[in-house]
Amino acid sequence: MPSSVSFSKIVKAYNEARSSGQDAPRLCIVGTGAEHVRVIDILSAGADGVHGARAVLDAVDPSDFVRLSRPSDPWDIVVFVAAGLPPRETASLVSAARHSGSRVIALVDARETGAWARTAGFAGDEVARCVGAEGSVRPTLENRLVVAADHRAVTLAAHLPAVRRAYCDHVILANAKQNGIIGVVVIIPGADMPAMTANQIRMVLQIAAAYGEEIGPDRALEILSVVGSAFAFRALARQALVFVPGFGWVLKGAIGFSATLALGRAAIAYFEAGAPLQVSHMKRIEHQLERARHRLPGFVQRHMASR
């Protein structure tokens, strides 16, 4: 790996990931009945009772919400489960939550037209349409929680495994978009590598933190090995810029985006497996990509000749 990607940058990325939110945001789930219980069960699934769900998640009946609200120490995020809650009565609770400084989210039925949320006082970007892995309607409650938690979303994901995948997807997409832009706008060969690699290292560290992994300097080799597999993608992109004049910058950006996306997915699979990284396996991937890089000129020339 080029010397331009220094160990100090890895440590800086690690520190950013670790310091992005030491205290998890506190959630309050307001609702009643079976749907309220279902949402709590889904969000707390897989979490450790003391250090996980109990540390960040409270369940409150609407009749007790105002009494239990603490203006001096409010919940960071309040979720209102629409099922069973009259919208006009809920509006006063939403107003109280906003007044205390809490972010608010409404979880409504996917088939709901939006009338409930409007009457209860929610904006469009404060509404979630489903919760849990079975949900196919977007946006999900997990997605809304990640956005509402902002820089502390990584800590929330570490406490609540149910939110983990939504957080990781959010981080991966953000870094992939950024590297796609870098691939397009940076035209000097090799100049994109430090910026792209720093983003990829930060992304992997954020994913690791979401899975509760202790990542320190002693794990730097693993991070380097994972990120190293993406260098051949960027080599492909530089070749494309040379052999596809006028259009190579588009492919270069697309490869920067796709490589980061693939790397993020691989990182999720690695941390979900809970197994040590097989450096030899990553080296084989890098070797395969390097072979693909050498085959690119001929492929591009044949493609251009066929046009």
Q: Give the position of tokens 């290292």.
A: 201
Taking residue 95's Cβ as centre, other Cβ atoms within 10 Å add up to 13
Beta strands in the chain (DSSP E): 27-30, 57-60, 77-81, 103-107, 127-128
The answer to whether 94 and 122 are in contact (CB under 8 A) is: yes
Domain assignments of the chain as residue spans, ordered by start: 27-159, 164-305
Structure tokens at 97: 């939550």
Query: Amino acid letter at 136?
Result: S
Q: Could you name the CATH architecture of 27-159?
A: 3-Layer(aba) Sandwich (3.40)
Instruction: Determine the pLDDT at residue 12.
Output: 64
Instruction: Determine the pLDDT at residue 61.
Output: 93
Instruction: Determine the pLDDT at residue 21.
Output: 47
**3-state class (DSSP) for residue 30:** strand
Beta bridge partners of 130: 140
Residues of the chain whose pLDDT is less than 50?
1-3, 21, 50, 244, 275, 285, 288-289, 292-293, 295-307
